[in-house]
Amino acid sequence: MTDLKQLELPSLTRDILGEIEASLRQVNAADLDALVAEIERAPKVFCLGAGRSGILLQAFCMRLNHLGVEAYMAGGLPCPPVGASDLIIVASGSGETRSVSAVLEQGRQAGARVALFTARRSGARSMDADVTVVIPAPSGLVNREHPQNLQPMRTLFEQGFFLLCEAIVCWLKLKKGIGEEEMAQRHANLE
């Protein structure tokens, strides 16, 4: 247990930022490129996650729509049926969230492709995906062979996931030549 008398909030913040940076530096750039290519060619994108990862995925889904990508939260309203060549983007720190796996299997049966964000480097129980982006985020819950980070549970994975999604949005915005005004026109006006 950390001695709080020796800890200052600004230094804790710097330590957390250091953990995030160290984790993101280890993400495979080729995997991110493959994910962007999948998003670009998919007729529709479905986002699937549970818990905090699912909440962050909702923000990514919204931004994809702002970019003109037809994107939906799986199981949300409205949500059309998934079909062949559609993409399901999954966020699961463990790579084995049961509720997510069950829905994912239905998408696979319909012929959808799968992109997975996970902290799990590998394992027999990991979800099967066409593209896997591993966010190295050791914790006592995943990747137990690596030292635990400062933050609780899967927070480091979630932070890295959110920042990667924001970077993907920026990258797609630049690639497509989409300006702020065009994105703003697709933003909700019933708030």
Which tokens belong to 58? 């909702």
How far is residue 159's CA from residue 176's CA, in Å, rounded to a whole number? 26
Which tokens belong to 68? 């003109």
- At residue 126, the pLDDT reads 60
90 within 8 A of 61, measured Cβ to Cβ? no
- At residue 52, the pLDDT reads 83
> For the domain 28-185, what is the CATH superfamily, name and number?
Glucose-6-phosphate isomerase like protein; domain 1 (3.40.50.10490)
- At residue 91, the pLDDT reads 86
Neighbours of 180 (CB within 10 A): 9
Q: Where are the domains of the chain?
A: 28-185
Per-residue pLDDT of the chain (191 residues), as tens digits, is 455 556 676 777 787 788 878 878 889 999 999 999 999 999 999 998 888 888 889 999 999 999 999 999 988 878 888 999 999 998 887 666 666 777 888 888 898 999 988 887 665 456 788 898 988 876 555 445 555 566 655 778 888 899 999 999 999 999 988 888 777 777 766 56
Q: Given strand 45-49, what is the order of strands in its sheet? A: 71-73, 45-49, 87-91, 113-118, 131-134
- At residue 143, the pLDDT reads 46
- Residues paired with 131 in a beta bridge: 115
- List active site positions: 158
Residues 6+ apart with CB under 8 A from 27: 133, 134, 135, 136, 160, 164
